[in-house]
Amino acid sequence: MSTSELPRSGDTQSEVLVCRTCGLTYSLGETVCSRCGSSLTEEHETFNVDFEPIAEEQLRRQQGNAFLPEQNALSLIVDGQPITVPKSESIIIGRTSTGDDIAQPDIDLTPFKAAQRGVSRYHANIKRKGNMLYIADLRSRNGTWLNGKRLVGSEERLLRDGDAVRLGKLVAVIRFR
């Protein structure tokens, strides 16, 4: 089996490509790790991996709580630091801009080297619909990913507790607290 193929039904072990920084598996041809943003263009390293625990972890992640009770706060964890998200119907995530007349994002990721990591000024929008949260890319230059899958256009995707959101090369974990 080549390193770029996914395991077939019944396969429990296969040789895969693994990010040297965080250990996330990836496909041949990917250039940036969807979890940590590290370059994947260096020499590839392969490991034999047992896919059963990985599949179980992915299933647990998919079954994360999507219901945000009114009393719970929403946080983004960036580089190990929590950022409390204000309670609002719509939250813009991005980085600050210079100039007094330019509107600023609700959540400013500038302290996390946002510009260097490819975060746009108005990168993504988190919308509250009842007790559910949705995220959409705001046509950012470097894209938005939810759990490794790129968001297309302004498509809204449901957020769950524990989801990983990547804005350019900056990764944030969603926490319902």
What is the per-residue pLDDT across 58-110, written as a single tens digit (0 to 9) for each? 555 555 678 787 767 899 999 999 999 988 999 999 999 876 667 899 999 99
- Give me the percent of the chain exceeding a pLDDT of 90: 47
Query: Is there a contact between 39 and 20 (Cβ–Cβ < 8 Å)?
Result: no
Is the model's pLDDT at 35 over the cut of 80? no
**Rounded to the nearest 5°, which phi and psi values hold at 28?**
-60, 135
pLDDT for position 2: 37
Structural domains in the chain, CATH included, are 13-62 (no CATH), 74-176 (2.60.200.20)
Q: Closest Cα partner for 10 from 20, 1, 19, 22?
A: 1
The C-alpha angle with vertex 56 and arms to 171 and 172, in degrees rounded to 5, equals 10
C-alpha 139/C-alpha 124 separation (Å) is: 8
Q: Look up the pTM and report it.
A: 0.64
Query: Is there a contact between 154 and 137 (Cβ–Cβ < 8 Å)?
Result: yes
Question: Higher confidence at residue 140 or residue 67?
Answer: 140
Is the model's pLDDT at 111 over the cut of 80? yes
pLDDT for position 175: 92
Q: Closest Cα partner for 150 from 1, 30, 11?
A: 30
Distance of CA 17 to the CA centre of its chain: 20
